[in-house]
Amino acid sequence: MERQFLASFILSAAAIAAFVFGVNLYIDPYARWARPSADDMLVDVDGFDRTPAYTLNRRLFKLIAFERWAAGSANGGLSILVGDSTINQVDAGELTWRTNQPWYNLAYGGAGLDETIDLVEYVIENHDVEEIVWGLPFNRFISGAPNDIPRTIEMAISPIRHMMTIESLEASYLVLRTNWFGIEFNDPRLDTGDEDIVTYQLSRSRAEIAGRPWPAGLVRRLDAMIRRAERRGVEVVVFCPPVHPRTQAMYEVEFPGRYVRYLNLMSAYDAIDLNDPEHRADWPAELFADSNHLHEVYKPRLVRELAGLM
């Protein structure tokens, strides 16, 4: 009886594992082996729209797409952007055209300082990187932010193992649901109640910054990583993207000591700060969709400004 139960258990487990692997291999939610349409990793030539997988795990999707892009860049000398959603506003294709060098945007929403440090370390150790534009906005200088990059790297470099995971199966299900039934999986709409979106977001940002100390240990790691990259011949440009005027005022008025500390840190590097007095008037409130992000129509302006200052 025990042997029959054990045999039944093993067969059932093997069947489940084979099912998970087969579905994930067929759907390929993170486009490991897909044939992308043009340069769009989200859409396969066979018709699969992988936007749900991207929404579910931007870190993994971006890293896999970058590895594929880097492998196809025969000229070497890669240039990358890293940071959070404020850096993800930069269109890498347009930046490539304006600078005449290949750029890839590895930034994604919610990327913390610790995550970008680990990501830069991985990239410069494994690829011929020529230049990095590293987005370092003030609100990311907090302690205790989660860091999922080590796990993401492990998943990216172990594709067969990741094909066996329930996480990939969830992504496959969401992709199929979107493609077969038109049920989209997107970020939830932000409910600000009676407040405008800038006021709402500033309230949350204020509480987060005030509730977490200055990340002294991460700052030391950041400095060590920038110096390490430079010793390897990688040019590092620190980028402070523009924020809504009310956001900038909050940083300066409510966190004056901390903000001065931030500015002193930025001054130690080759930095482009679009919030300094020289550039502040160039980014009035009407250009912003919220406290940190530009309306779509003004994002090309950000690329032009960045390219012109590099």
User: In which domain, by residue range, is 85 found?
Assistant: 73-145+212-310
Determine the 3-state secondary structure of 184 from DSSP: coil
Q: Is residue 62 in some structural domain?
A: no
pTM of this prediction? 0.87
Q: Is residue 11 in some structural domain?
A: no
Q: Is residue 203 in some structural domain?
A: no
Q: Is residue 218 in some structural domain?
A: yes
Q: Is residue 187 in some structural domain?
A: no
Number of domains making up the chain: 1
Exposed/middle/buried for 127, CB within 10 Å: 0-12, 13-18, 19+?
middle
Name the nearest CA neighbour of 85 among 62, 51, 52, 53. Answer: 62
The enclosing domain of 77 has a CATH number of: 3.40.50.1110
At residue 44 the predicted structure's pLDDT band, cuts being 50, 70 and 90, is: low
pLDDT tens digits for 29-42? Answer: 787 776 554 445 56
Whole-angstrom distance, CA of residue 147 vs CA of residue 65: 20
pLDDT tens digits for 184-227? Answer: 777 666 666 656 889 989 999 999 999 899 999 999 999 999 99
Q: Is residue 125 in some structural domain?
A: yes
Q: Is residue 293 in some structural domain?
A: yes
Whole-angstrom distance, CA of residue 17 vs CA of residue 160: 12
Q: Is residue 206 in some structural domain?
A: no
